[in-house]
Structure 1
């Protein structure tokens, strides 16, 4: 069960890394109640708006790679049957293109994603990412 949730979660990052908007669209529930909060941005509502935001973000990035750590999955059954929703919390360690063609930049975000069972598939209902402040060397004692 959690393997299927984890596979859908990983496919989300694969879609971003490869710029595959069709894959991204297949991973979200089509509903006006869907929400997404990008780091330092207001909430977006509705599948169409969320997918448009991902299309814009993916078009602006030449290279991005996610290294996921601290992954925690919690499933929630609605009835006595199999789970119908899952919360995935993780740390996104991000490597992306820098200001020049030969440089890279890094960052980190804490992300929580709510996936729901849509038939036999797990799809995203909500996602919220928040940047992690990474202190500059020498600032830790301040």
Structure 2
């Protein structure tokens, strides 16, 4: 695992979040694997079944972006692991979002734990899998436990 590879994986991971925050489907498309890897990509949005194939995954992002007026991510606890031509990034997403397009509607969107898997291609590192899972905050855990 070289520092150059780690930096390149961190850069494409950051571009994934920048594409989502700016609701730029063209940018998002550049992040995801294509060509011989297009049918192997997988995305699991919180609460959704696994989506398979580049076209299906990008259509899901188009739908999400069209219905998200504002979103911002603060990533914490990021770790990068590279093995050969595959890289795994795990992190916590701390989300600020809005349900309407006004400054008054900003709210914390909760936290997710995320696994992003990248594959080395001729074009560089590209996303192969994104899996986001919500993390219960302490109050939600207490409510579920009945305490």
- CA distance in 2 between partners of 1:50 and 1:29 (Å): 11
Matched, 1:46 2:47: no
- Alpha-carbon shift at residue 130 of structure 1 (Å): 0.2
- 1:91 equivalent in alignment to 2:104: no
| Residue 4 (str. 1) matches residue 5 (str. 2) | no
How does the TM-score come out when normalised to structure 2? 0.86
> Following the alignment from structure 2 to structure 1, what is the Cα–Cα distance between the partners of residues 100 and 55?
31
- Number of the residue aligned with 1:127: 130
Residue 100 of structure 1 and its aligned partner are, at CA, apart by 7.8
Greater percentage in helix: 2
Which runs of structure 1 show a deviation greater than 4 angstroms over 4 or more consecutive aligned residues?
none
- How well do the aligned residues superpose, as a CA RMSD in angstroms? 2.0
Aligned counterparts of 1:132 and 1:119: Cα–Cα separation in 2: 35
Count of residues in correspondence between the two structures:
136
Q: Which residue of 2 aligns with 1:25?
A: 29
Higher deviation after alignment, 124-133 or 111-120: 111-120
8 A Cα contact 2:113 2:134, kept in partner: yes
